[in-house]
Amino acid sequence: MFVIGPDQTGALMNYASIRRKVTATLSKHGMAVARRSITTVQQQGEPQVTETTSTRRGVLFPIKEGVAMIRGNSVLVDDRMMILDGEGAISVDDKFVVGAKTMSVLSYEAIDPAGTVLAYEVHLRAS
C-alpha cells in the first residue's frame, strides 16, 4: 500500500526506485521495534515453547480513511500499517512492541521487487 501503491503493476519493475524509497523511509522515520516470536516444537511428546525477542526497524502509519479490508482482514479504527525492515523473517504469530503498545500481526506482504525482500508491509492490531 505505502511503498508500491494500490495497483502494484509496473512499479515492481523499478527495483532501484523502490529500494531508495524504502531505505529513505526507514532511515528518516524508522524507530526500533521489538519483535516477539513464539515457536512451539514437539519434543518427546511435550510441546516446547520458545519466545525470542529481536529488535527491528519500522515505521508505523495510520491506515487511510475509507480502507475497509486489507488482505482479507477487516480494518478497525486503531489498526496500523508498518513498513518493517527486510532483515529477517516475520510471521502472523509475531507480536511487535512499538513504544508502550503491543500489536499483533494480522497480515503482511513482502516488498520484494525482483525477488529480493527489501521490507515488509505489516497490518497490525493492538493486542
- pLDDT tens digit string along 71-119? 999 999 999 999 999 999 999 999 999 988 999 999 999 998 888 899 9
The beta strand positions in the chain, using DSSP E, are 31-43, 46-62, 69-70, 73-74, 80-85, 95-98, 101-111, 119-126
Domains and CATH numbers, the chain: 11-126 (2.40.10.270)
Q: How confident is the model over 28-38, as a mean pLDDT?
A: 94
| pLDDT bucket at 2, cuts 50 / 70 / 90 | very low
What residues does 74 pair with on adjacent strands?
69
Task: Please give the DSSP secondary-structure letter assigned to residue 106.
Answer: E
| pLDDT bucket at 40, cuts 50 / 70 / 90 | confident
pLDDT for 3-31, tens place per residue?
444 444 454 457 888 889 999 999 999 99
d(CA 83, CA 121): 5
pLDDT of 74 reads: 96
- pTM for this one? 0.82
pLDDT for 54-74, tens place per residue?
999 999 999 999 999 999 999
Buried b (16+ CB within 10 A) or exposed e, 63-78: beeeeeebeeeebeee
C-alpha cell at 82: 508498518
Contact predicate 84/33, CB 8 Å: yes
